Chains A and B, each alone.
Chain A
Amino acid sequence: MSFELFMFLVTAAIALAGGVGMIVARNTVHSALFLLLNFFAIAVLFLLLHSPFLFAIQLTIYAGAIMVLFLFVVMLLGVESIEDRTKDRLAGQLWLSVVLTLILMVQAITITLLAEPAESQAQNTALLDQLADPALIGATLFTTYLLPFQITGVILLVGIVGVVVLHQRAHLYGPLSETEREFAEQYAAERTASGQPAEQAS
């Protein structure tokens, strides 16, 4: 077994463990940490795939920004273990999803077994070294992918405006008034009483 394969297997095991852990963990902070572990493992896999640039980007943005944001929100709201598992009316959905997942797994294995094109460049180390150069990514970003790059800027702008809008409203209008809260509850009660059978099935 080559060193690279060994590294791959270990990292892949960690990545999978992280993914499973995230789903299984009861505590949201633990979930976030398992996901973080998974992100680290994927970053290492990027390194194994000759992409040091994405290794750094993955760590900086996913691990360093996105997951910190998640943890921050969980801590700020204090919702570490908010989940209520007693009302398990979703047992059917659970089984459905397990079956669906098994189908997807089978599909994944099929892809893997069938799809190994002959003209793979994965052994061409000279080419791969060339592709590992971050300058090449930059150059591609500003030439071929110029338009998507600019659109990304628009998306980030919309994201910023959206977050400010969502936050600002609370400042402008204050929290829900008592009457509004009552109205909402009354409305909900009315709706339950009237009963809308058709869509419950969906």
Chain B
Amino acid sequence: MPPEIVIPAIDVRVIAPMLTIFAWATVLLMVDLFMPGKDRKLTGYLALAGLAVTALVTLAVQPAPGTSRTSFSNMVVLDSFGTTLTLILLLIAAFSIAISINYLSYHNIEMGEYYPLILFATGGMILLGQSTNLILVFLGVELLSITLYVLTAFFYPRYTSEEAGLKYLLLGAFAAGFLIYGIALIYGGAGTLDLFEIGAFLNTSLAVGSAFPPGALLVLIGGALVLIGFCFKISLVPFHMWTPDVYEGSPTPVAAFMSVGTKGAAFAALLRILIVALLPFKIYWLPVLGVLATLTMLFGNIAALMQPNMKRMLAYSSVGHAGYITIGIMTAGTHGTESFLFYLLAYALANMGAFAVLITLERRGEMAWSVDDFAGLWKRYPLLAIAMATFMLSLAGVPPTAGFFGKFFVFAAAWEDGQIFLVFMGVLSSAIAAFFYLRVIMRMFMDEPVREVIPIFNRGLTITIGIAVVGTIVFGLLPTPLVSLVQNSVIALGVGG
């Protein structure tokens, strides 16, 4: 006889944001199927509506500050960290869709499935931010990746897009191999995949005696493999080689989405793994991450320095920013969580904005996003130039922009944690970075135009750029409300705690 099946208590509120976005995406797929004509803008607007609904649902189910809910055998947790992250991710997805709607039809690659795929990817990101079980982390990473493989290769007649898709796929699958093998070793060591239980296991087994117990050793090696898997996803040097190629080849809105969304979600999952499950191993992962962060900041920014191609420059700059976010992760537990969220939001606004400006200048069939296009932009389109300048300043971390406070909080947290060397390296690499960001500004304001460039404006792009500029400046001048928001977003450290 089959065993009695008792379904554990389910709290739908915990997965409500995810559920809403998946349901919306699925229904949207079918709605799109029956939509007449070739025009797919309506699907895009419906997807935006779906994101809005999800945001409302997220706000409706958000837990009281300091509390958390778990469900599905403690596999997912809804804490204020997850809620804030979900809102940021939804904002990123909304920006990506807003800048895609006209982009797709302009470049003649319009297919209705694009928008549900973005929604599915966003759902995967939300899942990553909320899961407290390694198998869910794996599934979240895969959901996100499989969607992005397709989206990367979405620019059909363009060779480079398909190449980018294949490269991303091969490296992504390779990374997934590391991730799952690491998870297997952790399971072998701890006998469970629950992050809280792994943490408890490590605490008890390490407390027993002076000898290093074999189970804990397995968890350590497994944790290292999981870290390698994540390093691919968040493109830390030396696992970053795919980043510029993939960003350059993929449709620009997808590159924007990937550069912020994937990183944010993967970092959030890594954060949870590191401080919930592997906290007893802090002495091991702290130096490793420190070295990776240093390498990433230096290499990413130096490589960006040599790029004549704006899209690749932004890709390398995103590698560099991954380094700064890593510092935020390392100091998690003290102020790392807040600095991570603040940095993510500031980076998201500036980066999405910069990509949106790039899209306005991208012409049909054009594949070179040369810095030359920006030369003399100030004389022709002063508002666009000012917007781009704002984003560049924010990315460089110059006050009074949100980017400044992002970097400031990260460095302050690291300083407080005693990571003086990291702060030093961070400031040094920021100085290098400032050079190439400022170079773009110089060309916009000082140089004569190299060639005729006619930007394309449309509602989605204008609104995105507008919101990004306003957000960057407002949070740069008045960071207090945002700081209080992220300060309340603490990560749940215990079951139901």
- State the A residues within 8 Å of B (CB): 107, 111, 114-117, 135-136, 138-139, 142-148, 151-152, 154-155, 157-159, 161-162, 164-166, 168-170, 172-173, 176-177, 180, 183-184, 187, 190, 194, 196-199, 202
Contact = CB atoms under 8 A, between A and B. Distances in A.
Interface of B: 2-8, 10, 15, 22, 26, 29, 72-73, 75-76, 108-109, 111, 113, 116-117, 120, 123, 127, 133, 135-136, 139-140, 142-143, 146-147, 149-150, 153-154, 156-160, 185, 188-189, 214-215, 217-218, 221, 238, 240-241, 244, 302-303, 306-308, 365, 367-368
Nearest to B365: A183
Given A154-B143, A165-B111, A144 B3 contact: no
A143 B5 contact: yes
B110 to A, nearest CB: 9
B61 to A, nearest CB: 16
**Interface centre among A136, A138, A164, A199, by most B CB within 10 Å?**
A199
B221 A107 contact: yes
A199 B26 contact: no
B6 A143 contact: yes
Contacts of A164: 113
A115 B117 contact: no
Contacts of A161: 29, 113, 116-117, 150
Contacts of A199: 241, 244, 303
Nearest to B26: A157
B143 A202 contact: no
Contacts of A173: 108-109, 156-157
Contact of B368 (A162, A169, A187, A202): A187
A116 B302 CA distance: 46
A154 B140 CA distance: 10
B5 A142 contact: yes
Nearest to B154: A165
A158 B157 contact: no
**Interface centre among A111, A116, A158, A164, by most B CB within 10 Å?**
A158
B127 A151 contact: yes
Contacts of A145: 73, 135
**Interface centre among A145, A151, A164, by most B CB within 10 Å?**
A151
A142 to B, nearest CB: 6
21 contacts: A111-B217, A114-B217, A115-B188, A115-B189, A139-B4, A142-B5, A143-B7, A147-B136, A148-B133, A148-B135, A151-B143, A154-B143, A155-B146, A161-B29, A161-B150, A164-B113, A165-B113, A165-B117, A176-B159, A184-B158, A194-B308
A61 to B, nearest CB: 16
B140 A151 contact: yes
Given A111-B218, A161-B113, A162-B150, A197 B306 contact: yes
A17 B170 CA distance: 24
B217 A115 contact: yes
Contact of B22 (A116, A154, A172): A154
Contacts of A117: 214-215
A194 B372 CA distance: 14
Contacts of B26: 157
A55 B105 CA distance: 49
Given A144-B73, A146-B10, A180-B365, 15 more contacts: A115-B215, A115-B218, A143-B7, A147-B72, A148-B136, A154-B123, A155-B142, A157-B120, A158-B147, A158-B150, A166-B153, A173-B157, A177-B157, A187-B367, A196-B308
B6 A169 contact: no
B409 to A, nearest CB: 30
Nearest to B113: A165
Contacts of A184: 158-160, 367
A151 B238 CA distance: 31
A132 to B, nearest CB: 13
B113 A136 contact: no
A111 B185 contact: yes
Given A173-B157, A199-B303, A146 B72 contact: yes
A139 B2 contact: yes
Given A116-B214, A159-B146, A173-B108, A202 B139 contact: no
B164 to A, nearest CB: 13
A51 to B, nearest CB: 15
A148 B15 CA distance: 12
B217 A165 contact: no
